[in-house]
Structure 1
Amino acid sequence: MASVFNAVDSISAELATIIQLEAPDEISVTKKDAKIEELMVMDQSLLQCMGVSHASIESILRTTLKYKLAFKLTGARGGGSVLTLLQTLLSATVVDKVTAELESCGFHCLTATIGGQGVQVCFGGSS
């Protein structure tokens, strides 16, 4: 199992590097998203190799694969959470469809973004 854990660590380090890279145009964004997707699939495969899965996780896997979306198990919220990559240029219609399908199966979907402009200060009572 040590080699599997080493592979997971290598994937995490590479992902951290890629997330920090600038993507000045749509081609760069698409390439960056594709690499993140590749790393997520590799990581999830290693987690499955470790036996870290559940029938509900496999249900999410089947649903997201129908929409050609990559996902991986995460320990967020005490475990049992799944992170699905919604590529930057992905249609909102696809996001709505996969969300509706997952929620119809009883799953709770949250949307979050990675990165952004950093800390912003807002004056005048707005939050």
Structure 2
Amino acid sequence: MKLLLNKNIRKGQLYFLVICVLLSLSCKKSAESVIDCLGESLLGGVHITTDDTNKKLIHLEARYHGSHTVSSVSWDYGDGTMTKGSEKTSDHTYLARGVYTVTAKITIVNNGTTCEVSPKKTVTIN
């Protein structure tokens, strides 16, 4: 099968197409569900606020702006501590000053297809 490419296609578009095809073959998912998971990754985020009275305590919220169901959220606080649950919110107290990368692994379910998105956010504890 020959693949004809328009000279106007950008490299990024070609790379995206190749990644989608490889993911669909390696994960044995349909190309549609792979593209859906890639799209869902754009709809997730992490919101962090610092406690007013304890500057080492942070309040986290995993945000998902899509139309599917969030089944679980796993938190990696960047200091070696991790938690898993069904709540989109979490609190965490750091023991030391530093810069940490917080990751929320959000599991999304749609008609039996599961996607995981992992938005990250950096927090500085003084």
Query: Which category describes the TM-score, using the shorter chain as reference length?
Result: under 0.3
Query: Which of structures 1 and 2 has the larger relative contact order (alpha carbons within 8 angstroms, sep 6+)?
Result: 2
Q: TM-score, normalised to structure 2's length?
A: 0.27
The structure richer in strand per residue is 2
Structure (1 or 2) with the larger CA radius of gyration = 2
Q: TM-score, normalised to structure 1's length?
A: 0.27
